[in-house]
Amino acid sequence: MSTQINRSWQMSGFGLSRLSQVTGKMPQPGPHELLVRTKAVSLNYKDRLIVDGTLIPELTFPFVPTSDAVGEIVAVGSAVSRFQVGQRVLGQVIADWPDGDAPPVLHKHTLGSSLPGMLSDYVVFGEDAAVLAPPLLSDIEAASLPIAALTAWFAMAEATKPVAGQTILIQGTGGVSLFALQFARAFGLRAIVTSSSDEKLERAKKLGAWQVINYRTRPAWDEAALELTDGLGVNHILEMVGGDNARRSLSALAASGRLSIIGLLGAMELNFPIVPFMRNRIVVQGLSIGHRRSFERMNQAIEALGIKPVIDKVFGFDEVPQALQHLEKGPFGKIVISTT
């Protein structure tokens, strides 16, 4: 431990103006905990909603936001058996979800929500809530995994079974979507990517998209998806928006199709017409990240497949407000803060 000083970005209230850098004491790990010197922290859109006060109105202050970090273990509690000093780890965001079913009440132990966030020099993980970072990834790349990659992986490889040759429609080109695109390719799925930008769609094609749809020039993107699939519809759609967009998703789905609800970028409601829902035997599933075992399986796959996360932009530790503002710009991939 080179220093006893622990810098953090702390919210004293809602709004970017009330987020400021402070200096505090280094946390002490309990018997089953790891003290970790962070190397990089990635942002998710929900971090902006939390800073703005939209997502968790009942937050108590001061509060350090963000959930995704990679770092090096600098000390371990007396009872720790799963890890040792010097290892590079990622935090498991839903800390009390090791495997199988989620805890009955979610988010009682979630990083950057009910537990402190990651924008600090030093953070603490329970030894049961950490995983080794994939060796082939840089710190910047590894920091992008805990929410974005695991959400895509869980929807595509855990909550359902990927069947090679089938189609998946991925909305947008943010962090979750590009991981989904890379996994789709690795699983032998045909990925259709939607975006409002031809330039982003071009980049998605280079990452392996089978087909693309510009929903600005083709607002009835569900019809476009049906055309691309010979009228049969898409087998799986990752819903990032909600509201009327989810209605289009339903109409673009094949018989026995699946809609995974993983984002809430748009409306706060889901609406579906009931007759096609029954006739096509649609499955709609709400998802929230994933468990630690799936995180471990995903990291193994990322190593085996040589997947490299797509990073939109890297900011320094002093540039956190700029990074949070950049989230609004519709990045292509992940935004990461280097914390060293």
In this complex, which beta carbon is closest to a second copy, that of residue 246 or of residue 335? 246
Which residues in the 130-189 window bind a second copy by CB under 8 A? Answer: 157, 161-166, 183, 186-189
* Phi, psi angle pair for 277, to nearest 5°: -60, -45
For residue 149, the 8-state DSSP code is I
Cα 33 to Cα 274: distance, rounded to the nearest angstrom: 49
**Of 287, 294, 286, 309, whose CA–CA distance to 178 is shortest?**
309
Query: Cα(263)–Cα(246) distance, rounded to whole angstroms?
Result: 11
Binding a second copy (rule: CB under 8 A), the pick from 264, 320, 327, 336 is 264
For residues 43 and 336, the answer to whether their CB atoms sit within 8 Å is yes
Distance in angstroms (rounded) separating the CA atoms of residues 77 and 52 = 35
190 binds a second copy (CB under 8 A): yes
Contact region for a second copy (CB under 8 A) — 137-145, 169-177, 286-294, 321-329? 286-294
Rounded least distance, CB 288 to a second copy, Å: 5
Single out the segment in contact with a second copy by CB under 8 A; choices: 12-20, 85-93, 212-220, 284-292: 284-292
Catalogue the E-assigned strands of 117-166: 122-126, 130-132
CA distance 39 to 17: 25
Per-residue x/- marks for a second copy, 67-106, CB under 8 A? ------------x------------------xxxxxxxxx
35 vs 337 by CB, closer to a second copy: 35
Binding site for a second copy (CB under 8 A): 30-32, 79, 98-107, 128, 157, 161-166, 183, 186-190, 210, 232, 242, 254-256, 261-262, 264, 267-275, 277-288, 291, 293, 297-298, 300-305
